[in-house]
Structure 1
């Protein structure tokens, strides 16, 4: 019974936001009320303690929003200052191929931003950059959200491991495992589990990109960029795994993202690992289906 009550606020938020497509401003207060009701009626927590926990939640949420707000400030500053045009020009000098741009910005740049800031900032920064390079908004959002997977474990300079597992440390300490050893152990196993996907996910996403959004709808066009994808995976994955094994959870994604970004840019500019043939693009935007550009709000 207690487990079901504890699950109810999460289930309610999912039903309202995903099923009924309510905005978070309406769904989350109801989820909070369900949480408060369970705390007061089932667990018999003192009202003052519930109020203190609510305040703690507000402060935690505010800290996340400040980080996201900072990312949006950077984005709009770049936009208003004309820097997006400079980035577009620079990216076209590196490669006019949308597959290469997807690896550089959607994967490596977003991984570095996740490592440095986290909390949704990769999608907030990388997706608009891809859209400015004439990616369909749906493709840009999908790439950034799916690629933002293996960097997350060590995002925000290791926050998911250092703080996210805080409540599991007493169990580890009871077994005679210190906090530092516990953090490093979790980081090591997480990096090893992620290692195969660091290699496979870029290839898979490029294949799905050209199959879902290409003019000819072929998986093979995405796999034609396998050299640049593999270079990015190696430049990111080797320091990612090495630092997780040897140093701890703070820097694997940060250093991996930085080296991966630099390695892919150098490789693309040199032409040694660039895709063969004509640059692949999404075609004229006038031919894009409506659902590539806008999402129906259900109303």
Structure 2
């Protein structure tokens, strides 16, 4: 069978997801079982993967599903606990006091607070926390999930204390002799070479990611505003770019000076310290405040099952006290993930680890560390809230019950989505002597593209994250392949691996795994395809801009595809700023006239 035919067959599982989930907009609970069956059929019949390999890979996926559902449950439980205690009402009032403008609230909660949570824990936790929090402060559920997913981009490469670089890229290239020889030729230790990849990744991310807050608010006003106007989002361009830089500048500096562990974590904290006081003073913001239309006018498709009333609670909770649980979550996530402290070792030790070794007689082995999951921390903090806010057992019981029912609604989709991914990834063990489906697809693209590879290197990373639901797994799968392609075409391999990591981060905006989890947390199930159609827009921006920048960095400015890609994006940025400035002046004139 020719490489072209095999490539098309390897693409069938991805096309199944795109056609039924994204184009036909089937709910994930229907589309993903079909995708699983199709993927298993291609693996068994074409790749001739042994049945026990498919079963073992599916089992690994099921364990991951349980872990993801536990994270979602923990995030919703914490939110419902705050709701029952009255603390959520204070948080909502606190954001209104910072700024009643929904664009500002989205930037602070998602871009800055979400980036901090990503830096601490990763694994889709920021979207699972930010989406329901936005619903709580008055966002439509679909709008909340969309903006929460959009920030699953820039901070992701350095999420969970640098896991996508330190585990993903490291496991992908760390044992290859040619990689080690390349580092030695450059006069570097392997650790320094790995850090240099992270440093380059951060610089590219900083250039591209600075505009993500502007993208986020423009899409918010376009899809969910009363006037369906992009210009209303662009009107806040000064504040959005200011917030973008408040995160990306320290983020890039930390990555280059300290390494890959803390860019997202400290970038988020520093950004919050800069942007929140500025927002309170009204710096860089247009005079006109933007809000959603009245709830009765919202499209029913926007509304989820997570209902939060704005009624004042019987017992008032101060804003500072109301934020203590989220501060505790961030603090505990950091403390439990630092290698310098013994806590991580305790939570991941063999005593509390559940090992699955050589499942069904295959080489597939994996482990689960329940106490180390972010969900455990959020459950523990929710229990602390009982004493912190003086809650009774009945109120906490309601929070647990509501959270469990919301989490169960996401189970059907994830029970097939994640096993499908694992079968796809683990298809390399087969009687047909073929590379795994994702690697074969990547090799086909590289043969087709040739020297123009830097322009599409991020696309491979995004593809890996889309199917695997993880920047770390994408980097693990494709980093060595990207190194090999770079070596073959004679360009700097570390730059190509950096572009892989950037694409892998961007792919998190559209991966089914994250979309289902964030939707469930916001009580919005069955509209995953609609959300992916929306988040494909910033994903495409990220991939194109990264590919163009990488190409220009390696080959220079000239009459080439990379230069055209960069110029197209820059032209779009200039147009957006001019349009935003025009809208801002119009809003000011309207306010003066009123």
**TM beyond 0.5:** yes
**Quick one: which of 186, 197, 221 aligns to 2:197?**
186
**Quick one: which of 240, 246, 254 aligns to 2:265?**
254
Match of 1:233 in 2: 244
Conserved in 2, the CA contact under 8 Å of 1:231 and 1:263?
A: no
Conserved in 2, the CA contact under 8 Å of 1:106 and 1:126?
A: yes
Alignment pair present for 1:273 and 2:283:
yes
Matched pairs, number: 297
**Quick one: which of 146, 169, 173 aligns to 1:142?**
146
TM-score by length of 1: 0.82
Q: For 1:287 and 1:50, how far apart are their aligned partners in 2? A: 48
Conserved in 2, the CA contact under 8 Å of 1:191 and 1:240?
A: yes
Q: For 1:162 and 1:6, how far apart are their aligned partners in 2? A: 29
Question: What secondary structure does 2:211 align onto?
Answer: helix
Conserved in 1, the CA contact under 8 Å of 2:157 and 2:164?
A: yes
User: CA shift at 1:186, angstroms?
Assistant: 3.0
Ranges in structure 1 where 5+ consecutive residues have no aligned partner: none
Match of 2:22 in 1: 18
1:82-231 paired onto structure 2 within 5 Å: 82-165=86-169, 168-169=172-173, 173-176=177-180, 177=183, 180-215=191-226, 218-231=229-242
Deviations 1:170-207 (A, max 9, x none): 57542324653453233222212211233222223334
Q: For 2:95 and 2:133, how far apart are their aligned partners in 1? A: 10
User: CA shift at 1:239, angstroms?
Assistant: 1.8
**Quick one: which of 2, 8, 12 aligns to 2:12?**
8
1:59–1:218: structure 2 CA closer, same or farther, 3 Å change rule? closer
User: CA shift at 1:98, angstroms?
Assistant: 1.8
User: CA shift at 1:221, angstroms?
Assistant: 4.0
1:49–1:261: structure 2 CA closer, same or farther, 3 Å change rule? same
Q: For 2:25 and 2:223, how far apart are their aligned partners in 1? A: 25
Conserved in 2, the CA contact under 8 Å of 1:154 and 1:253?
A: yes
User: CA shift at 1:54, angstroms?
Assistant: 3.2
1:20–1:205: structure 2 CA closer, same or farther, 3 Å change rule? closer
User: Please, what is the CA RMSD of the aligned residues?
Assistant: 3.2
TM-score by length of 2: 0.45
Q: For 1:282 and 1:30, how far apart are their aligned partners in 2? A: 37
Ranges in structure 2 where 5+ consecutive residues have no aligned partner: 184-188, 305-523, 530-594
